[in-house]
Structure 1
Amino acid sequence: MISLSSYAFVSMILFSIGVIGVIARRNVFIIYMSIELMLNGITLFLVTFARYHFNLDAQVITVLVIAIAAAEAAIFLSVIILLYRSKKSLDTDIFTTLTQGENS
């Protein structure tokens, strides 16, 4: 049987890798994947403690989080495609303004 601390450790590792990815990377797609990794770490942590306390409420919330994350992924990936089409790069340093002017 795998202990509660093992699941908690794995979820903290997932969240930490996600934080490092958000801080260290410049690619918009990599940052998005790191945010999703952080979300999965939090979800695993929530399910772990729900299982430990024999409560199904957190598992229902987790299913809702997964469904919302799927819809959010579709929207965010379409935004990434639009950003790439307009600037021909996904480097975050390029996206400094939100307006379309003469210099875009």
Structure 2
Amino acid sequence: MSSLQLYQLVALVLLCVGLYGFIWRRSLVGMLICLELMLNGAGLSIVAASQHTSADAVLGQLGALLVMGLAAAEATLVLAIVLVVTRRFKTSESIRVSELKG
């Protein structure tokens, strides 16, 4: 197994763990953490592919920085939404919020 395959396997594991946690988590903050895991897996995959292929390594690092910037912006927005939902519905569990919707 080459090192590129190993890095891609680790990125896939991060993505799968994040997806599993995103589906099965009940709290909104836990879902946010799992989403961050998925984005970290994508960033690792971009960097590994650029390091081990004919693409320029700097472009892969810039791509990973873009993913990290998007993740930071997404985390800021989602945490603001979680604060508003928690203040309004007095809970941060996604199932309870969807039940209170009507």
TM-score > 0.5, shorter chain as reference: yes
CA contact (8 A) 2:91 2:97 kept: no
Q: Deviations over 1:80-103 (max 9, x none)?
A: 11111111211111222797xxx7
Quick check: which has more Rg, 1 or 2?
1
Q: CA RMSD in A?
A: 2.1
Matched, 1:82 2:84: yes
* Amino-acid identity (%): 30
Q: Quote the Cα distance in structure 2 between the aligned partners of 1:24 and 1:48.
A: 29
TM-score, reference length from structure 1: 0.82
List alignment gaps of at least 5 residues for structure 2. Answer: none
Q: Quote the Cα distance in structure 2 between the aligned partners of 1:98 and 1:50.
A: 46
Matched, 1:72 2:74: yes
| Number of residue-to-residue matches in the alignment | 99
Q: In structure 2, do the counterparts of structure 1 residues 98 and 61 end up closer, same or farther at CA, with 3 Å as the change threshold?
A: farther
Give 1 or 2: higher helix fraction: 2
TM-score, reference length from structure 2: 0.84
Q: Quote the Cα distance in structure 2 between the aligned partners of 1:58 and 1:97.
A: 43
